Each structure stands twice: as C-alpha cells, then as structure tokens.
Structure 1
Amino acid sequence: MPPAAAEPLTPERILETTEEVLRRYGPTKATVVDVARALGVSHGSVYRHFPSKAALREAVTERWLARTEVRLREITAAGDRPAPDRLEAWLEALFDAKRHKAGDDPELFATYTVLLAENSGVVETHLAELVAQLGEIIDEGVSEGSLAATDVPAAARAVFDATGRFHDPQYAAEWQSPTIGAEFAAVTALVVRGLRP
C-alpha cells in the first residue's frame, strides 16, 4: 500500500521504497515507475531526486554498503581497545554483517549482487574505505607496539585479501557451512598472529 501522499518525498524515502521494489521484482524487472507507484507519486517526482534509473540504483547500492561501513567505523574508532582486539572484532563484524545480509534476506542479497556488478565505482570506493579502516587499526597497533608492519597500507590490503572468503559475496554459499565459524577463527588468528611484533 502506498504511503500517505502528505508525507514529504525525500531521497531517503525513495531509497527505502526502491529497496522494497527491488526485493519484490528483482533488479531486472524493477523500474522507476514501480518505485513511483509504490510511493504514490509520478515517476517525474522520483527523477527530480535521482536523474536516471542508473543514478537511483547506484544510490541504493551505496546506501546498502554504507550500513556496513558505519558499523565497522565504530570498531575502528574504539581507541580504548588494543589494536589486535579491534582487528579481530572488525573482521568478525564484517563477516557477521555479510553473512546476515546473505542469510536473512537472500532475495535482496541476490539483487545487490547484481547491483554491485553494475556499480563498480561505488564498490571500489567501498572497498577502499574498508581497507583504509584496517590500515588505521594496524597503524595504531604499530604505534602502540602491539602490531608490526613496515608498510601499513600493504598490510591492510593483505589482511583484507587473506580474509576474502569471509566477506566477498562470491563465497556466500559457503557461509552457511557448519564449520565456517571455526574456519573463520583459524584464519583470523593466523592473520593477527602474523602481524604481532
């Protein structure tokens, strides 16, 4: 049922509705007209906020990825915890977020997998942010003497790549395995141990 017409049309409201439309119709069939219909407005009203279907899909993708970034940023910024603990917590939070996205709403996860392929620039920005957060944690660990790395950006990228099986959507089918938790713990322990002085 469309929301009340008196409710103001905002970019956030459009993005929320677009997510529902994508969930309902999938990425190949969902249109701006479907989004407008769900909002109870003309498609021209949607285009006033997003100039094209591609721009709308890109914004939805960016919003979806940003949710993970915000959660991880909180761990990155928790300077009251030692860097190795934060590194483990950060990797666990990333894996947990990805696993929940894939398991809790598989239709929407599949939709976003399609959108991620369309919006490589948004994805590259997201990945750069995640690697930068890892770099901050490692850099602080080097400063406090709890971690060792001569090239922090390279170390951050190596950690991200080494744990790819636990956050790259191409491995989503493996995340429901009964042994995945133990496998994640083993890889994480090895990675953190490898960064110890």
Structure 2
Amino acid sequence: MAPPTETLTAERILEATEEVLRRHGPAKATVVDVARALGVSHGSVYRHFRTKAALREAVTKRWLDRTSEKLAVIAAGDGAPEQRLRAWLAALFEAKRHKAGDDPELFATYTVLTDENGTVVGEHIADLTAQLTRIIETGSASGAFTAADPAAAARAVFQATGRFHDPCYAREWQGPGIQDEFEAVVDLLVRGLAA
C-alpha cells in the first residue's frame, strides 16, 4: 500500500467514499474499498469513522448539507418574502432535479443511504422547514403573508411541494410540463399565504 500523499482527513475520506459508492453501489461498497482508493489501511479510515454505518451516515449528511447550505443563503436573504419563498422552492426543486439527472447512479445510491439514515434525513427536513419558517415569519411580520403559525405553514408548504423534492418522484422531474406544474403549485401556495 502506497503512503498517502496528503494528510488523511474526514473530508478526503468522504470524497473517496462518494467515488466508491458511485463505482460499486451501496450494497457492494466497503470500507476496505474506500481505504484502497485512498492508499491507506482500513484502520486509518476507522480512526475517523468508527463504523461503516457511521461513514455512510456522514456521507449522506454531507450530500444533504450541500442542498441545505445553498437554500440557507436564500432563506437569510433580504428580498421580498414572496420572492424569497419562490426562489427557495425553485432552488430546492432544481437541486434535487440536478442531483437526479446529472448523476443517476449516485442519486440511486443516496436514495438507498437516506432510507438507512432516518435521523440524518429527519434533521435535514427539520433544517429545511426551519428555513421556510424564517421566510414565512418575515412575510408575516411585514404584512406580506398571513400565517398565524409560521412553523405550521412552513410544514404545509414543504409537504405540499413534496412532488418536487421527494426522491420517490425523481422519475417525474424530467417529464414534459413538470416546470409548469411546479409553478402552478407555488402560485397557489403564495396566494394562500398572501395577506
């Protein structure tokens, strides 16, 4: 085994794990495969991630966090609440559609991993609904929206748009008319929130 050319970090391990998962799929990818890709012993990987499950959970969280971080910028923006809500929902749909369409093998792998990691997925959904809550709270405070309970409204918006971000609908995301359908749902939700 060749000595590593760079310091072994959790980030390097996660990058290598993603490549191994892309190549082998979740059923066949092993910690030994990840170590081999990095040119280190599997014990070196285990020093950063105590179990295979912990490694898979971390790579799933990393994947979901990429979307959350992009959306957080929109949620924290200072534009009009309606525009921020529309931009946030559009960015979520585009991020999911991009992941499913650009790398279908890895998307399928992550679909399996997210099913395994309910806690990570639950935290991701809680983060996303918290971002929506901030947008709706801002809209309610400014008089643009009427939502007595912004958190409940955020959960309702998230659930109502599930067809455009839940991976179980990924096959529909490239279909004809999907963008028009998305915009119709968002228009309906914005009208429902409007003061």
Band of TM-score, shorter chain:
over 0.9
Runs of 4+ in 1 over 4 A off after TM superposition: none
Give the alignment of 1:173-184 within 5 angstroms: 173-184=171-182
Structure 1 residue aligned with 2:135, among 134, 137, 143?
137
Return the letter of the residue paired with 1:102.
Answer: A
Partners in 2 of 1:31 and 1:118 — Cα distance? 16
Partners in 2 of 1:156 and 1:127 — Cα distance? 11
**CA-atom RMSD in angstroms:** 1.1
Give the secondary structure class of the aligned counterpart of 2:173: helix
Partners in 2 of 1:77 and 1:154 — Cα distance? 19
Instruction: Indicate conservation of the 8 Å contact 1:3/1:39, yes or no.
Output: no
Aligned partner of 2:51 in structure 1 is 52
Aligned partner of 1:166 in structure 2 is 164
Q: 1:145 to 1:171 in 2, by over 3 A?
A: same
Instruction: Indicate conservation of the 8 Å contact 2:146/2:193, yes or no.
Output: yes
Q: 1:19 to 1:3 in 2, by over 3 A?
A: farther
* TM-score, L = length of structure 2: 0.98
Aligned residues: 195
Q: 1:5 to 1:190 in 2, by over 3 A?
A: same
Aligned partner of 2:9 in structure 1 is 10
Structure 2 spans left out of the alignment, 5+ residues? none
Measure how far apart 1:6 and its partner are. Answer: 2.4
- Which whole-Å deviations, capped at 9, do the CAs of 1:148-171 have from their partners, x for residues lacking one? 101111100000000000000000
Partners in 1 of 2:69 and 2:7 — Cα distance? 26
Partners in 2 of 1:159 and 1:4 — Cα distance? 51
* TM-score, L = length of structure 1: 0.97
Structure 1 spans left out of the alignment, 5+ residues? none
Measure how far apart 1:5 and its partner are. Answer: 1.6
